[in-house]
Amino acid sequence: MANWAINLESIGRENSLLASDRLKLPKTIKQDDRILLYRIQGEDVVFLQNTSVEFAKTESISGVGEDVVAIQLRAPINLPSPSSLSAMTFSLELISRFDEPSKHFNKNIRKILDDDYETLEKQSIFWARSAFGFYANALPTDRFIEFVQFVATSAPGLLIESPKFLILWPLLRDWIEDEYINAVHYATAIRDTVSRVSIAGTSVPFNRIRVSLSDEKQASSGLLSRLVSNLESFYFSSTNTPLNVLSTKGDLNSAESVFDEIDKMIVGNLSSEQLFEKAFAGKKWPITRPIKI
């Protein structure tokens, strides 16, 4: 028994499906094969229903040189809720194009592994790998390489063995917190201090202050105010802590962060995470940049 994902657009009124120029049904599709039906929505693929093959037959059509496959599907059943590919990018074994996962579904029909079928149907998520994938791919290349160096010094075995996301994710989490979350303290304090300094009579145009790397690279300077607000929005999007709480309490670590919630998910679904870890053994790091790890 095999599993297939089929674009809903290809299916006829009576849930019947005939090979055509648009859709070439494989000869290996058989009765009782499991089917997931999806729709393309913008850049995303959304899985909506499941069903199975009631019967499959080969027909010869006049004018077409060879036999073609036709199938009849059983009445599809809606999934408990639609399942979007972008959310499941790092939970599916079939995905290797992490920047454009929907490209794996541009043929209107594709075979999917048992594991991936179950994952899509149950909408289960490999939390450790998802968190790792989304954040690692957000880093600029030079900073990502620094993270790899950090792994090489703190847990070098991870660069040789199969990736273990249950270990890699906490390392990335700590690295990001040390690197960016802590910087928010200083960034916002600089802005607040400059504001007080200006009010007290030393006019400093905070919104014009830039920071440059060196003498030679004057053009490569960054606007300090933008850095501060970028760091701040990263902080707020990761913690849901409103601005006034930050500025009055100033204790960033007391807030419930996205990181904490991911870790709760990992702990709460540990057996599922461990099964995922086994299933993904042997795969490379799920990164979009051309670094071979």
Partner 1 sequence: MANNATDKDLITRVQASAQKLKVAATWSHGPSLNVADSFLLELFLLFRIVEDLQNTYDVEYDPGTFPNQNVFPQSGAAKQTRPKFLVKDKASKQILCQICPGTRVSDRGGHERAIDISFQTATSPDVPTLQHLCQIFDAKYRKNDLKRITSHEFSEFARWIDLFQLQGKSAGLTFKALTDLNAHCLVTNGEETTEKDTERQRRALREIANFHPNKKYKPFPP
Residue labelled with tokens 């960034």: 187
Q: Which is nearer to partner 1, 156 or 250 (CB)?
A: 250
Compute the least distance from the CB of residue 152 to partner 1, in Å.
16
For 2, counting Cβ atoms within 10 Å of its Cβ (0-12 exposed, 13-18 middle, 19+ buried), the class is: middle
237 forms part of the interface with partner 1 (CB under 8 A): yes
- Contact range with partner 1 by CB under 8 A, out of 64-72, 99-107, 181-189, 273-281: 181-189
66 forms part of the interface with partner 1 (CB under 8 A): no
Q: What is d(CA 31, CA 52) in angstroms, rounded to the nearest whole number?
A: 8
For residues 243-262, which are near partner 1 according to CB under 8 A? 250-251, 258, 261-262
226 forms part of the interface with partner 1 (CB under 8 A): yes
279 forms part of the interface with partner 1 (CB under 8 A): no
DSSP three-state, residue 51:
strand
**Nearest to residue 19, comparing CAs of 54, 66, 86?**
66
For residues 182-221, which are near partner 1 according to CB under 8 A? 182-183, 185-190, 193-194, 196-197, 200-205, 208-215, 218, 220-221
124 forms part of the interface with partner 1 (CB under 8 A): yes
DSSP E strands in 8-121: the ranges are 16-18, 34-41, 44-60, 67-73, 77-84, 109-112
Q: What is d(CA 288, CA 6) in angstroms, rounded to the nearest whole number?
A: 26
Of residues 142, 153, 160, 292, which one binds partner 1 by CB under 8 A? 142
Q: Which tokens belong to 154?
A: 């703190």
50 forms part of the interface with partner 1 (CB under 8 A): no
